[in-house]
Structure 1
Amino acid sequence: MLGVIKSDVGRVRANNEDSFYFPPKDSKLPELFIVADGMGGHQAGEVASKIATNEVAEYINSHLSENISCEEIKETIKNAVSIANEKILHLSLQKDEFFGMGTTLTAALFYGNYVYIGHVGDSRAYLIRENDIKQLTRDHSLVWQLVESGRITMEEARVHPMKNIITKALGTERDLEPDILKIALKDNDIILLCSDGLTNMLENDEIKDIVLSAKEPEKAVQKLIDYANFKGGEDNITVGIIKVDEVGCE
């Protein structure tokens, strides 16, 4: 398995409010990858996203053990998100400069022949399998609700004036329930994590074509960032690609 995550400030924003995590090279830590996209003025978004990635990674790394059950893995991810949420919310209420801060979070934990996704907000996880791309997560956003209710199309959602309004984020409510997914993996699967700085600039098929043509995850990540900047770079851009070589036996 080979995983790479990179982040770029883009061409419009003054600072980068995205954060990410992946396990250090040659470590025995869990195969965990996280992307978070912060929000809030005075660099509060940057603080929120960093807290989220640090807290979630620390909790999962210290609580995941061998021979853990599927339900225990899901509960571990849920608890990690809850702890991060509480810390961000507490800090936002304690300091005026952090009031109202929050962050999205999308985490991919590889365990056995599966990847477990923990998700809050509108950062995304995709599965690229053979020549197809599938969005695994559903955006917690106003326009996504409008699409699901049939009031607008996906094409209209991409240019909707309220496309950046999210309905769920860490640090904005006490009782936060993340989406938890379990996906069975196949040989040569690719999991892609990204902030909306990528998906607001590129169509899904463009993402897929770049990833498959680049072959190597590091080159694919850089090409995606470069192309998002070429098309405007209106937000911070964070992209993670994890390539699964062979799936072992159960």
Structure 2
Amino acid sequence: MIFSAKTCVGRVRSNNEDAFYVPPKNGNYPELFMVADGMGGHRGGEVASQMAVKEVSDYINARFSKDFNEDLIKAMINDSIMEANRKILMAAMDHEEWAGMGTTLTMVLFLGKKIFIGHVGDSRAYMIRNNTITQLTRDHSLVWQLMEEGRLTLDETRTHPMKNIITRALGTDRVLEPDFLEYDLEKNDIIVLCSDGLTNMLEDDEIKNIVCGQELETAAEMLIHAANLHGGIDNITVELIRAD
């Protein structure tokens, strides 16, 4: 497994409310990757995103087995997100300055020739295969919902004044419904995880062209740089993982 992960505060924000997780190099850890984009309160977004990736990774690392079937993996991913959601809610109740904090979370677990995705919010997972980029997750956002209802076009969602309103997040409700997705994997597929600080600045094909033209480490740096050149109005986080 070859991967690279980068994050940047961008050109406008004063602090970075994104967080990410990649498996530690030392030790027999699951091939788990995550991006979270926090929001709300004094440092609340930063706290929420960091809590999300820590709680989910701790939960899965402690329970994962390569012998798990699809149902057990789905249950484990769902339970890990629910536990993180519960702890973020509790932290917000215990600290007034964090009231209203929440975070997106998009995670990918690699197992054999499959990937398993848990997803809440509008961070995204893409797959690049044979020079084609495909968005694997659907945004939990108001404009995405309007697009699915036929009331907006995809182009209109990019510039809509309410495009930053998300409809699901960890830490905002006790009841949460994460998306669970499963995809087959082929050799040299590249999975892209990113916060909306990247996708609000770059078109999908721009992301694909950068990733396909460079080694992953260089491509991740170039994606951050390109998003900043386009304005860098939000924190930017990207993870690139090549299946081997």
Tell me, in whole angstroms, the C-alpha distance in 1 between the residues paired with 2:70 and 2:5. 26
Tell me, in whole angstroms, the C-alpha distance in 1 between the residues paired with 2:124 and 2:27. 26
What SS does structure 1 have at the residue aligned with 2:11?
A: coil
RMSD between superposed Cα atoms in Å = 0.7
Shift of 1:129: 0.3
Q: Which residue pairs with 2:173 in the alignment?
A: 173
**Structure 2: 5+ residue runs without aligned partners?**
none
Q: Does 1:112 align with 2:103?
A: no
Q: Which residue pairs with 2:58 in the alignment?
A: 58
Written as runs of structure 1 = structure 2, the 5 A alignment for 1:104-183 is: 104-183=104-183
Shift of 1:26: 4.0
Q: 2:13 corresponds to which letter in structure 1?
A: R
Tell me, in whole angstroms, the C-alpha distance in 2 between the residues paired with 1:64 and 1:3. 21
Written as runs of structure 1 = structure 2, the 5 A alignment for 1:71-90 is: 71-90=71-90
Tell me, in whole angstroms, the C-alpha distance in 2 between the residues paired with 1:87 and 1:105. 14
Shift of 1:82: 0.3
Q: Which residue pairs with 2:192 in the alignment?
A: 192
Contact kept in structure 1, 2:66 and 2:111, CA below 8 Å:
no
Q: Does 1:5 align with 2:5?
A: yes
Tell me, in whole angstroms, the C-alpha distance in 2 between the residues paired with 1:155 and 1:55. 36
Tell me, in whole angstroms, the C-alpha distance in 2 between the residues paired with 1:115 and 1:27. 21
What SS does structure 2 have at the residue aligned with 1:201?
A: coil
What SS does structure 1 have at the residue aligned with 2:213?
A: helix
Shift of 1:212: 0.2
Length, aligned pairs only: 244
Contact kept in structure 1, 2:147 and 2:157, CA below 8 Å:
yes
Tell me, in whole angstroms, the C-alpha distance in 1 between the residues paired with 2:243 and 2:27. 18
Q: 1:52-96: per-residue Cα shift (whole Å, max 9, x none)?
A: 000000000011013111110111000000000000011112211
Q: Which residue pairs with 1:248 in the alignment?
A: none
Q: Which residue pairs with 1:225 in the alignment?
A: 224
Tell me, in whole angstroms, the C-alpha distance in 2 between the residues paired with 1:68 and 1:148. 34
Q: 1:14-43: per-residue Cα shift (whole Å, max 9, x none)?
A: 000000000112431000000000001211
Tell me, in whole angstroms, the C-alpha distance in 1 between the residues paired with 2:207 and 2:112. 27
What SS does structure 2 have at the residue aligned with 1:86?
A: helix
Tell me, in whole angstroms, the C-alpha distance in 2 between the residues paired with 1:76 and 1:139. 22
Moved over 3 A (4+): none
TM-score (norm: length of structure 1): 0.96
Q: 1:133-165: per-residue Cα shift (whole Å, max 9, x none)?
A: 000000000000011011111111000000000
Q: 1:151-193: per-residue Cα shift (whole Å, max 9, x none)?
A: 1111110000000000000000111110010110011100000
Q: Which residue pairs with 1:22 in the alignment?
A: 22
Q: 1:5 corresponds to which letter in structure 2?
A: A
